[in-house]
Structure 1
Amino acid sequence: MSAQTAEKLAYMVNQIARNMALDDHPVASVADHVTAFWTPVMIDMLLAQDSASLDPVAADALKRIAEGRIPAPQNSATDPAVHGSDAG
């Protein structure tokens, strides 16, 4: 997709952030909206973009989305629930 499309996505997520600014939990509301209604391709494009053009609420929502996109284990050999984790 083009740079113009990425700019449009940034514009859209900023609009969503402004509309949800008065919610009790605006960052969570924006993150929930984006994950519920946007395609994975749209989200990936936005995550790949520099967050300087984003409203602070939108930027925090995207950080929250990115943190939740940890891939699931591919098989039992990579599943910490099966083998535990060496992380302290």
Structure 2
Amino acid sequence: MSMSEGNKIIRMANQIATFFHSQPASEGPGGIATHINKFWEPRMRRQFFDIIDNHGGEGLDSLVLQAVPLIHRPKPAEVPPAAKASA
């Protein structure tokens, strides 16, 4: 994942958190997770978890970090057999 892709994912997640900072504190993590689980495609969630796993969530809002256990981790991307053969 390129740095610009990572920055975009961080910015998007933090924008969701900005909204939930104006809501009751108890709704924040669950609301963020629900939004990401519903509206982010698996590729975006893979990029998100790459930031969590490889960069410790650096740059992510504290509410986003609290939501991580509630966010569905997608299955790894499958490489098509033709791509494996040419590798």
Gaps of 5+ in 2: 76-87
Partner amino acid for 1:17?
A: A
TM-score, normalised relative to structure 2: 0.69
Identity of aligned residues (%): 28
Partner of 2:32 in structure 1? 30
Q: Determine if the alignment matches structure 1 residue 17 to structure 2 residue 5.
A: no
Partner amino acid for 1:35?
A: N
Q: Which is bigger in relative contact order (C-alpha 8 A, separation at least 6)?
A: 2
TM-score, normalised relative to structure 1: 0.68
Q: Take 1:37 and 1:15, find their aligned partners in 2: how far apart are those partners?
A: 14
What's the CA shift for 1:69? 4.0
- 1:69 and 1:46, CA in 2 relative to 1: closer, same or farther beyond 3 A? closer
Larger helix proportion of the pair = 2
Partner amino acid for 2:17?
A: A
Partner of 1:82 in structure 2? none
Partner of 1:86 in structure 2? none
Partner of 1:41 in structure 2? 43
User: How many residues align structurally?
Assistant: 69
Indicate the SS of the match to 2:21: coil
Indicate the SS of the match to 1:20: helix
Gaps of 5+ in 1: 72-88
What's the CA shift for 1:10? 0.4
Tell me which structure has the larger Cα radius of gyration. Answer: 1
Q: Take 2:48 and 2:22, find their aligned partners in 1: how far apart are those partners?
A: 23
Q: Determine if the alignment matches structure 1 residue 61 to structure 2 residue 67.
A: yes
Asked if the contact 2:45/2:74 (under 8 Å) is kept, the reply is no
